[in-house]
Chains A and B, each alone.
Chain A
């Protein structure tokens, strides 16, 4: 384990940025092409995770623990967001009998 971690420390920061960008773009793609509200929700979680990974990488490369504390706070806020969001989805399902997000364009008023 020690040797693996030491080998990893030779990975350039650019690779982490590229990985996070690709993950973020996959999340954006999921939000745009799916109509199931829960899948859209999971894609948003994917984007949050991409940002978390990038923050942790920057924090580890700079030797500054504040970045990792911030990731911890993002995770707490994400947990709260998931609870409220799923409650809203359950309520939408109860009123419309579907979780198709295109059905929600009645919100235009």
Chain B
């Protein structure tokens, strides 16, 4: 392996590590909300530092790649994609922390009936599946696996869309739960954003592997 290939492969490994960490952060945030587990929630918040450090380090690696290796063609697309994927992962990490913080802000357990109705667990599960799919596809250079996330993202969009009526109705009938309902609605929105960010990662992966720009294309991904 040439020195250039070694550097590129190291960069890829760092991104895979960060993808795995982002997925873990989401899973832990989910568990923390399910169990109203303040300690786990603190752990997610604490791990955010690691996420941020990784982002800085990958940024620096990309900058060095540009400066020292003048990458072109597939290498150029790769480094450009890593730069963007890096910042999307950092934002997924931010959302995981935002979700974990609801546990600390909320004094009583989330209302089971409502969380079930708005499909909060499913939302978490699909979001986590998406980050896992994109990690595997990215690792194996398999754009078919990466493309799985586009369909799953639609599930997240639908759940969010349906939730506003459900929550609206619930708050109308149970005014005492309005604060918690707002938390839950906001949690769904965060997860929907995680879906969008994961989709962006998928698009960047396809861009670097296939030299195809799939951003902002509707219905032909």
The answer to whether A and B interact is no
B residues apposed to A, CB below 8 Å: none
Task: Give me the interface of A with B, judged by CB distance under 8 Å.
Answer: none
